[in-house]
Chain A
Amino acid sequence: MAEHTIKSPLPGIFYRRPSPDAAPFVQEGDTITPGTVIGLVGVMKTFHQITADVGGKLVRFLVENEEAIRPGQPVAVVSDEV
């Protein structure tokens, strides 16, 4: 089993939901494909989507919802074992 981390290219606030009332983009354990949106980074009053660059099972998130993140920081772990 190989593990891969999804990184945020931007600093800002990490959000797991498209809006405060909506369901999270993905849950831990979900199967994702390259391009799946896993969260948003809010900075400068704009929101940028964080997308998976690989497919597999999203094993776990490494940052909390609404946590401040740095550029290049890993935000989730993906396993190729679905």
Chain B
Amino acid sequence: MLEVRNGGFETTVQDYPGRIGMLSLGFAPAGPMDDYAFRFANVLVGNLPGTAGLEITAGGLVIAFQDERAIAVCGADMGARLNGQPLELWRSYLVRAGDLLEFDYLQGPGFRTYLAVSGGIDVPPVLGSRATYLPGAIGGFEGRKLQAGDRLPLGEPMTDPAQAAGRRVPASLIPSYSGYNEVWEVEATRGPQADPDYMTAEDMAFFFSHHWKLDAASNRTGYRLDIHKWQWARESGGAGGGHPSNILDNGYPVGAVNVCGDQPIILCIDGPTLGGFICNAVVAKAAMWKLGQMVPGWSYIRFKEVTLEEAITLLKQQDETIHESNLERS
């Protein structure tokens, strides 16, 4: 059991890859925004990489443990302390009943951090996943973010917590996060509605070279980018609507860059599953984790074009990287 003393700003139970296969029913996958840090935290404590853990956004979480478990915290530095002592990120620890884990606010680059506990968070799966889908208020703990007084059941650990503790992710595999006012390079493929049919070649060249500012009003549903006056390849959306960004409603890929009039919005893992605006690019799945560490209102994005084959290769490399055989004993 985990006892929540303070839920922080926005802490949710997530699993990976979330509620997949449900887009046609209107359910986004949900899951961790930074699945790289999330999966490595699980591997560190001896869990399968997708086991349910906590996504901690911007800090403030305080929890007490009631069992002996291995834990790991991976992601942004929020000055985590275990019983008052600083906790190293990307490393597994043994905790005992009565131990207290506290997160302060963000201490540097990055925006989210992940807590994995051996055995995982054993909330009931909803439609096949424990991931919290906030817009639909389902999954996770009562379909909502955590608050003081919540008690989260834990699963049975697969490995001895004492054995899983004391390991670390090697420095070479810990990503560095772009800081405030700095640019994140994000790999993306051309989307289903790009040039020459919907946008001009100049529009796409601008898209792949501009440093897009991430708006403060960005969350797990969508990441809003700068307003831009596109040239457009069409006069109107035809049967889809009056504006050239309109199309007949169709399904949206997860990670699509959805251009609504002048504004591009990246559809994140809690995003809409269909609609009637063009998607001129799609963020590579292996680059989605970067979105999770961007700071709304401060980060910039440059999209780096990759082919579908390159995107698949990146994903295979990432899946192979997040593996127990790559950990070090500390």
List residues of A whose CB falls within 8 A of some B CB: 9-13, 42-46, 48, 68, 70-72
Contact = CB atoms under 8 A, between A and B. Distances in A.
A44 B10 CA distance: 10
Given A68-B216, A68-B298, 7 more contacts: A9-B59, A9-B105, A11-B297, A43-B217, A43-B297, A44-B57, A44-B218
Contacts of B57: 44
Given A43-B297, A44-B296, A71-B105, A13 B216 contact: yes
A70 B298 contact: yes
B286 interface: no
Given A45-B217, A48-B9, A13 B297 contact: yes
Contacts of B105: 9-10, 71-72
Nearest to B221: A45
A17 to B, nearest CB: 17
Contact of A12 (B59, B107, B216, B220): B216
B58 A10 contact: yes
Contacts of A68: 216, 297-298
A43 B59 contact: no
A12 B297 CA distance: 6
B180 interface: yes
Contacts of A71: 58-59, 105-107
Contacts of B297: 11-13, 43, 68
B295 interface: yes
Interface residues of B, number: 21
A11 B219 contact: no
29 contacts: A9-B58, A9-B60, A9-B105, A10-B9, A10-B58, A10-B105, A11-B111, A11-B180, A11-B295, A11-B296, A11-B298, A12-B216, A13-B297, A42-B216, A43-B216, A43-B297, A44-B10, A44-B216, A44-B219, A44-B220, A44-B296, A46-B219, A48-B9, A68-B298, A70-B180, A71-B59, A71-B105, A71-B107, A72-B106
A45 B219 contact: yes
A43 B180 contact: no
B217 A11 contact: no
Interface string B96-121: 00000000111100010000000000
A71 B180 CA distance: 11
A48 B57 CA distance: 13
A29 to B, nearest CB: 28
A42 to B, nearest CB: 6
B32 to A, nearest CB: 16
A15 to B, nearest CB: 11
Interface in B25-70: 57-60
A68 B213 CA distance: 13
Contacts of B220: 44
Contacts of B107: 71-72
Contacts of B106: 11, 71-72
A48 B59 CA distance: 13
A21 B104 CA distance: 33
Nearest to B220: A44
Contacts of B60: 9
Interface in B292-326: 295-298
Nearest to B298: A11
Contacts of B219: 44-46
A44 B105 CA distance: 16
B57 to A, nearest CB: 8
B148 to A, nearest CB: 16
Interface string B213-250: 00011111000000000000000000000000000000
